[in-house]
Amino acid sequence: MLIGGRAGEGINRASAVLNRLMARLGRYVYMYYDYPSLIRGGHNFAIVRSADRPIGTHRERVDAVIALDRETVRQHASRLSPGGVLLFDSSVVRESVGVPVPLDEALDAEGAPPITRNSGMIGAFCRAAGIPWSLVETVFEREFGRHAGINLRVARRSFEMVEERIRIPRIDRRPLPVLTGNEAIALGLVRGGLDTYIAYPMTPTSSILHLLAGFASRTALSVVHPESEIAVILMALGGAYAGSRCAVGTSGGGFCLMTEGLSLSGMAEVPVVIVLGQRPGPSTGLPTYSCQTELLFARHAGQGEFPRLIAAPADASEAYVWSARALELAWRFQVPAILLADKTLCEGGYSAVIDPDLRVAAPDDRNAMMPGEPYLRYRITPDGVSPLRTVPSAGDVIKVNSYEHDESGTTTEDAEISAAMQRKRREKARTLGEALRAYETVDVSGPDTARVGVVTWGSTAGAVREAVDEQPLRLVRPIVLEPFPTEAFRAAVDGLERLIVVEQNWTGQLEQLMRLHGFGADGRVHRFDGRPFTVEEIVSRLAEVV
């Protein structure tokens, strides 16, 4: 289903309702939302897809077009599948061929405000798609809360204006929760023990700030909106020094401003989690669209050399797990951790599998100081991980330092001590890499007999997975990108004669990272216009290079 209209007509809200309606039918869902960087005007549309199996992308063709304006008909009527249905607001679209829905009539009859037009179109679609009214009531009451009444009345009027044209079958399955990637990240951070979330609003991660702010008033969680991204990262490091598990959210432009703070985290060994939602650049670029252009930036950001964790989840279920793990691993190894997302993941809607028993390990004390020993914040240990204490700690001096320092945290420029501290941080990177072997750091699917592998990362996996499902191809997807899981990746590509890399950038950033670790590519598929791949495009373009 594709629903479209102008900015301000509630297309995003309408698509969320459609997503939940499909989920209530026992179906797996996915939602893609496309909109320009405008408050009013411009063309907005969303594609809501449902299926009897897990999905993570949309397709070129649609079975229904739901048009609140002429532009939706003009741009998208050609995408309609044979036998599909076009519903349009006949109050504003007069020349179309399809199912007319006179929304002015419905709104006038109920004395309803214009913003309820989207509810009217959903009501008409539900009747045309054979969705029972009782289900519409249930979803509207859940979605609109105290505003459900007027929206339901308008939807009912429109529901009665049309006849059934197609029928979406119900599946006998317990509905899965529907979450955006940002909602899953927020919940995962909380699951991982988040104490404080700090962010300056920046598409596409802004809704994490809004969601967690809603929790803060009734929980122990602190949520702060400072004046700039520089303030965000420094406030988070100050909070972590004082014992608060802190995470921040940003996009590429904000992350640029955070890089000196990221380097401070590396030198001071103060942990922090950064949710980095990629969007096309350079500079402001396409602020409401998607890309995979910040992998190398995230890997190399900050002056000097220091360990970090970078993980790139593919969907909401994985985003929940790896945001929790990012907090766990950042504090366990005292490193910055970056959750590398993008607009497609952050704002896309997914049927999510949320494990209520997800375990997050507590920091261990294997390197704890012995009783009576003076506390050394940067004590050199066999695994590079120093004992972590936070202020206030009775009798301890907890000194962190942005300069090179000795074990106590005192500034030094001594060559021997400086080299020892560099080796300590390098050893910590090795220890982090070893610990990651306990997790699934590379996702692999496809036949063991495959001779060609398709390698991708992040949200692009949704389209690639579906494209290769029925072909003799193996899908290889690194979830952790730093430290790169070399052994797991080598096992994943074992037996393959060719590797094709699919990315949403034009320089081949994952391919560059693979080559650094000894893995070449025999072909590549890139897209860099800000729009995500569709299944059909992947199938077509793989056929050209395989």
Radius of gyration of the chain from its Cα atoms, rounded to whole angstroms: 25
- Distances in whole angstroms, Cα of residue 187 to Cα of each of 139, 192, 356, 441: 22, 9, 11, 21
- 1-13: average pLDDT: 93
pTM for the full predicted model = 0.96
Residues whose CB is less than 8 angstroms from the CB of residue 17 and which lie 6 or more positions away in sequence, other chains included: 119, 122, 139, 140, 143
Confidence (pLDDT) at 301: 97
Q: Examine the fold and report which residue of 324, 351, 378 is the final residue of a domain before the chain moves on.
A: 351
Nearest Cα residue to 364 out of 390, 392, 333:
333
Q: pLDDT digits over 477-500, tens only?
A: 999 999 999 999 999 999 999 999
Structural domain range at position 479: 442-545
**Quick check: is 78 in a domain?**
yes
Answer yes or no: are the C-beta atoms of 29 and 49 closer than 8 Å: yes
Instruction: Tokens for 505, please give them.
Output: 């950038």
Does one domain contain both 192 and 142? no
Q: Examine the fold and report which residue of 320, 351, 382 is the final residue of a domain before the chain moves on.
A: 351
3-state secondary structure 392-424: CCCCCCCCCCCCCECCCCCECCCHHHHHHHHHH
Within a 10 A sphere around the Cβ of 214, how many other Cβ atoms?
Answer: 12
Q: What is the DSSP letter of 9?
A: S
Residue in this structure with the two tokens 């249930």, named with its chain if needed? 138
**Quick check: is 293 in a domain?**
yes
- Provide the mean pLDDT of the chain: 95
Does one domain contain both 258 and 319? yes
**Quick check: is 63 in a domain?**
yes
Confidence (pLDDT) at 40: 76
Within a 10 A sphere around the Cβ of 523, how many other Cβ atoms?
Answer: 16
Does one domain contain both 223 and 137? no
Q: What is the CATH number of the domain that holds 6?
A: 3.40.920.10
Does one domain contain both 257 and 302? yes
**Quick check: is 401 in a domain?**
no
- 333-345: average pLDDT: 97
On the 0-12 / 13-18 / 19+ scale of CB atoms within 10 A, 296 is middle
The yes-or-no verdict on residue 367 having pLDDT over 70 is no
Does one domain contain both 117 and 186? no
Q: pLDDT digits over 36-93, tens only?
A: 988 777 899 999 999 999 999 999 999 999 999 999 999 999 999 999 999 999 999 9
Answer yes or no: are the C-beta atoms of 462 and 57 closer than 8 Å: yes
Does one domain contain both 216 and 337? yes
The yes-or-no verdict on residue 446 having pLDDT over 70 is yes
Q: What is the largest CA-CA distance in the chain?
A: 85
> Helices 316-333 & 181-191, crossing angle to 10 degrees?
40
The yes-or-no verdict on residue 510 having pLDDT over 80 is yes
Does one domain contain both 272 and 346? yes
Does one domain contain both 200 and 96? no
Instruction: Tokens for 13, please give them.
Output: 């809200």
Q: What is the DSSP letter of 97?
A: -
Confidence (pLDDT) at 394: 87
Q: Examine the fold and report which residue of 105, 125, 159 is the final residue of a domain before the chain moves on.
A: 159
- 404-415: average pLDDT: 97
- 458-473: average pLDDT: 94
Q: How confident is the model at residue 359 (pLDDT cuts 50, 70, 90)?
A: confident
Does one domain contain both 246 and 138? no
**Quick check: is 406 in a domain?**
no
The yes-or-no verdict on residue 242 having pLDDT over 70 is yes
Nearest Cα residue to 463 out of 513, 520, 504:
504
Residues whose CB is less than 8 angstroms from the CB of residue 111 and which lie 6 or more positions away in sequence, other chains included: none
Q: What is the CATH number of the domain that holds 188?
A: 3.40.50.970
Task: Please state the domain count of the chain.
Answer: 3
- How far apart CA 205 and CA 252 sit, in angstroms, is 11
**Burial per residue of 341-379, b for 16 or more beta-carbon CB atoms within 10 angstroms, e otherwise:** bbbbbbbbbbbbebeeeeeeeeeeeeeeeeeeeebbbbb
Q: How confident is the model at residue 369 (pLDDT cuts 50, 70, 90)?
A: low
**Quick check: is 205 in a domain?**
yes
Nearest Cα residue to 87 out of 34, 156, 162, 168:
162
Q: What is the CATH number of the domain that holds 493?
A: 3.40.50.920
Does one domain contain both 191 and 295? yes
Q: How confident is the model at residue 366 (pLDDT cuts 50, 70, 90)?
A: low
**Quick check: is 315 in a domain?**
yes
**Quick check: is 53 in a domain?**
yes
Q: pLDDT digits over 300-316, tens only?
A: 999 999 999 999 999 99
Does one domain contain both 313 and 193? yes
Does one domain contain both 187 and 154? no
